Structure 1
Amino acid sequence: MHHPFTPLASVPVDPAHARVHEEGWQSWSPSGAYAVDAAPYRPTNDNWATVCYRPGVTVPAGTFQGEGLLALDPGDGSPVRLWAAADPLRSVPSIRLQIRDGRAEVSADGPVTEHSHEGTGGIQAALAAWADGVVQALGLPAPRPAPTVWCSWYEYFTAVTEDDIHENLGAMDTLGLPVDVVQIDDGYQSALGDWLTLSGRFRSRAGLADTIRESGRRAGIWTAPFLVAPDSELAAEHPDWLVRAADGTTPLHAGRNWGHDLHVLDTTHPHAAGYLVDVFATLRAEGYDYFKVDFLYAGAMDGARHSGADALTAYREGIALIRQAIGPDAYLLGCGAPILPSIGLFDAMRVSPDTAPYRDPESGDFSQPGQEAAEFTGVGRQWQHGRFWVNDPDCLMARPAVETRERWAAHVEATGGLMASSDRLLSLDDWGLATTRRLLTAPTRLALEGASQ
């Protein structure tokens, strides 16, 4: 699958002022601008390399690498230079930059186009101009403004219960919070892949959607549509629905999370595709019309598929099946998704790793949950907002137990993107309540303020 790297350019740089932007593979992959003598963020173990970076791709030491997109500000007043995948929806080459003797040596392992950007705004302006060109070439409509959201994840995680949802639904009225969508996150389902089978903590998914809608709000729900747990009913009953490793026999390994290995649904198998459509059509018929689809990287992993389709074709066709099932009006938020191959498919996109109630990723890996990591990559991808989709900076957490909550709230507010609260609302103090109300009242700002870095 991997091709040799071909030289593209040799650019003189001012080492004291030059900056390089690396675009990571997917939502959680570190992305942003670095000084040329900085060490870019890299995976700290093999599992995160699969789950959060580009699977199967390693980067040599002393090398910058963007997946389908890399930009250079030479730092000497000359134009920003940018290299991008020639066909980002179907082929995403790796693009490398190494500094040697005061020059940036750029190479790639597939077809790229080169662009230069004069004027102010630096790398972000160059990236935005490239994105505008992609949007124009593809004829993409402007993204729809995002609804405001309450999400169960960052308070309850997988232990969420139906009663937790009811409590917060009541609190929205008591506290007068302008929440459009109440989104149930991970924990309602019995297993990854068995999306329509409830965990013991939920009584009725359709009944819960009815209650949410009777309150005047929209019902939202989380899935990881391409993931299958080894102990799920789906894996036991339909092993032929799983993407295979290159040997064609063992299931493809998509990393580990939730304490177990992850398999991948092969949506090119007609029966697996039918199942995927049925899951989303069922949820839509029950009244859910806001869908957060997560861990999407799995659908774009190289493997042996029923139809023989390549990974990116299979990925885009899989997302198209979901859109077909939920209809054009439902709101679709991607997460853990390969960035460039997702252009044109989503209303909103998570553009960073997860946030957390703490500042620093525990492992020091900037693909892992932590406010600092989420801010770094969220700022680095601000140019995507209002162009490819509405950026999702991840949820506001404003309860007293959250470290550096003021700084995190300021970041979420500054993005102008999707605004989602993820606290037990009755636990908010005066500051948390006022901040949550203010952020949920601000409409999505799709006009960009030309952020620079």
Structure 2
Amino acid sequence: MRVVAEIPVSEQGSVHEQGWQSWSPSTRYGLTEQPHRWVDAPQRVVSYRSENSAGRDVFWGEGLLAVDPGDGAAVTLIAAVSPTRSVPSIRAVVRGSVVEVAADGDVEVRVEQSTVDTAFARWADSVADKLELTAPRPAPTTWCSWYQYFTEVAESDVDRNLQLMDSLDLPIDVVQIDDGYQAAIGDWLIPSGRFPDVAGMFARIRDHGRRAGIWTAPFLVSENSRLFAHHPQWLVRDTSGVPVSAGRNWDQQLYALDTTHPGAREHLRTVFITFAAWGIDFHKIDFTYAAALPGVRHEDVTPIEAYRMGLLLIREAIGDAYLLGCGAPLLPSIGLVDAMRVSPDIAATWASYNGDASMPGQFGATLNGVSRAFQHGRFWVNDPDCILARPGIERREDWARHVSRFGGLRGSSDGVDQLDDWGLETTRRLLSEPVPRYFVES
């Protein structure tokens, strides 16, 4: 790493980290605070930049970090020069009354007489101008099956909620079926037993006058999938030829699809063209970090180039459909998605089950949603994750306030029949509220 700045600070100084992907903790820290890091080793691959070796003794941003001296002096922002092509790791170490910042790639150092949020927003404006980005399309309102039914969702659950949406006249544009319709992670066109007629399900959604949405983790391949059994040559591998781990979830090992391999690319193209033929025009693509994992690929490209190749392929296959990224490397996604999850998953509880701020919980989701508010309206529409308003959701009033303040994409994920009067009224209000163009002005 090369030292790029030495910044005098007061005792009230702070460092603002921006993490690698949607779920990576991003927030402000006082100079003596320990930053949030992974708790369990497998989560390091799933929620953090896998090659990042930072511990709690240093501050660490992926392509973006800021230092506020805390005494009214100018804020210093260190950022990737070409964030869609290269995302350097940026390290900040407190040495007495100075914060020493180093980076392992090309960065620019910007000095702004402003708040940190405004400095981030001005930098984002400069990136959007350089890349000639147009204003992101407004997001539709959605209903998602995940947080009520998880992987056990069935066609009957979707049908029941469609009827209730109609009878209650809920302002929901898109009904998005989440994980559970498919046989395995990677086998997107093979239905699970609970969805004997997937195409028919989407047709019924459209018959109700709503748009059809679907969830995939397009760059993941699970060890129990047919894709893994039949096409192991489509996986990213290490230098010894062993498939690279993309982490562990669903009680199984996961691997990364090589988005440069002709066979894998044709597979992806077939999946998303089929979805388009089914009338699906809203896509949530999840766990997309897998395409950017380091490893050996069919083509000799960088991990970020491979990631963007995969996203571009999907973008071309779905045409004008709305594209929501999740579990996604943020800076490499600029210009390729309509909306972006900027936080870890929400949960029924405030804290995550193991204290890792990247794991499902309202604490981590709120943390990131506030810190990444500057991205909304510049790079994409910010998705803070779904509205959860049914009884039994811990601190549901606080979560509703967060969605109202920082929710660009507004989506409900309660079973409609599970909502009490407060939950129904709150859901209706949050789905109906106008969303401002920016959450942070520059």
State the TM-score, normalizing by the size of structure 2. 0.98
Residue 109 of structure 2: aligned partner: 114
Q: Which amino acid aligns with 2:200?
A: G
Residue 444 of structure 1: aligned partner: 435
Q: Which amino acid aligns with 2:110?
A: H
1:338 maps to 2:326: no
SS in 1 for 2:245: coil
Instruction: Quote how far apart the aligned CAs of 1:56 are.
Output: 2.1
Instruction: Quote how far apart the aligned CAs of 1:447 are.
Output: 2.9
Higher alpha-carbon deviation: 306-315 or 139-148 = 306-315
Q: Distance in 2 between matches of 1:368 and 1:117?
A: 33
Instruction: Quote how far apart the aligned CAs of 1:416 are.
Output: 3.7
Q: 2:165 aligns with which of 165, 172, 182?
A: 172
Residue 302 of structure 1: aligned partner: 294
SS in 2 for 1:374: helix
Higher alpha-carbon deviation: 52-61 or 190-199 = 52-61
Higher alpha-carbon deviation: 71-80 or 331-340 = 71-80
Residue 376 of structure 1: aligned partner: 367
Correspondence list, 1:36-51, <5 A: 36-51=31-46
**Cα 1:81–1:358, aligned 2, differ >3 Å: closer, same or farther?**
same
Residue 163 of structure 1: aligned partner: 156
Instruction: Quote how far apart the aligned CAs of 1:89 are.
Output: 1.0
Q: How far does the alpha carbon of each residue in 1:391-417 deviate from its partner, in whole angstroms, 9 at most, with x for none?
A: 000000000021111111110111141
Q: Among the aligned pairs, what percent are the same residue?
A: 55
Q: 1:430 aligns with which of 418, 421, 425?
A: 421
Q: Which amino acid aligns with 1:228?
A: V
Higher alpha-carbon deviation: 136-145 or 205-214 = 205-214
Q: How far does the alpha carbon of each residue in 1:362-400 deviate from its partner, in whole angstroms, 9 at most, with x for none?
A: 100000000011101111100101110000000000000
Q: Distance in 2 between matches of 1:45 and 1:156?
A: 26
Preserved CA contact (<8 Å) 1:228 1:263: yes
Correspondence list, 1:161-310, <5 A: 161-247=154-240, 249-310=241-302
Q: Distance in 2 between matches of 1:342 and 1:171?
A: 36
Q: Which amino acid aligns with 2:356?
A: D
Preserved CA contact (<8 Å) 2:374 2:440: no
Preserved CA contact (<8 Å) 1:374 1:393: yes
Preserved CA contact (<8 Å) 1:416 1:445: no
SS in 2 for 1:255: strand
SS in 2 for 1:378: helix
1:413 maps to 2:404: yes
SS in 1 for 2:202: helix
Q: Which amino acid aligns with 2:247?
A: G
Instruction: Quote how far apart the aligned CAs of 1:90 are.
Output: 1.3
Residue 127 of structure 2: aligned partner: 134
Q: 1:98 aligns with which of 81, 93, 96?
A: 93
Q: Distance in 2 between matches of 1:86 and 1:423?
A: 42
Q: How far does the alpha carbon of each residue in 1:68-117 deviate from its partner, in whole angstroms, 9 at most, with x for none?
A: 10001111111110000111111111111111121111111111111111
Preserved CA contact (<8 Å) 2:387 2:411: yes
Correspondence list, 1:30-41, <5 A: 30-41=25-36
Q: 2:64 aligns with which of 57, 65, 69?
A: 69
Correspondence list, 1:1-20, <5 A: 5-15=1-11, 17-20=12-15
Preserved CA contact (<8 Å) 1:416 1:446: no
Matched residue count: 442
Q: Distance in 2 between matches of 1:11 and 1:445?
A: 35
Q: Which amino acid aligns with 2:379?
A: F
Unaligned runs of 5+ in 2: none
Instruction: Quote how far apart the aligned CAs of 1:28 are.
Output: 0.3
Instruction: Quote how far apart the aligned CAs of 1:9 are.
Output: 1.3
Correspondence list, 1:354-393, <5 A: 354-393=345-384
Q: Which amino acid aligns with 1:322?
A: I
Instruction: Quote how far apart the aligned CAs of 1:449 are.
Output: 4.6
Instruction: Quote how far apart the aligned CAs of 1:427 are.
Output: 1.1
1:26 maps to 2:17: no
Q: Which amino acid aligns with 1:407?
A: D
Preserved CA contact (<8 Å) 1:220 1:288: yes
Q: Distance in 1 between matches of 2:100 and 2:255?
A: 39
1:348 maps to 2:343: no
Q: Distance in 1 between matches of 2:410 and 2:305?
A: 31
Q: Distance in 2 between matches of 1:245 and 1:259?
A: 23
Higher alpha-carbon deviation: 305-314 or 385-394 = 305-314
Q: Which amino acid aligns with 2:261?
A: H
Q: Which runs of 4+ in 1 moved over 6 A?
A: none
Q: Distance in 2 between matches of 1:50 and 1:441?
A: 37
Preserved CA contact (<8 Å) 2:339 2:382: yes
Instruction: Quote how far apart the aligned CAs of 1:61 are.
Output: 3.9
Correspondence list, 1:320-339, <5 A: 320-327=312-319, 329-339=320-330
Q: Distance in 2 between matches of 1:447 and 1:125?
A: 12
Q: Distance in 2 between matches of 1:295 and 1:447?
A: 26
Q: Which amino acid aligns with 1:344?
A: G
Q: Which amino acid aligns with 2:8?
A: P
1:54 maps to 2:49: yes
Preserved CA contact (<8 Å) 1:245 1:253: no
Q: Distance in 2 between matches of 1:171 and 1:52?
A: 36
Preserved CA contact (<8 Å) 1:352 1:378: yes
Preserved CA contact (<8 Å) 1:358 1:370: yes
Preserved CA contact (<8 Å) 2:406 2:439: no
Preserved CA contact (<8 Å) 1:146 1:444: no
SS in 2 for 1:254: strand
Instruction: Quote how far apart the aligned CAs of 1:235 are.
Output: 1.1
Instruction: Quote how far apart the aligned CAs of 1:176 are.
Output: 1.5
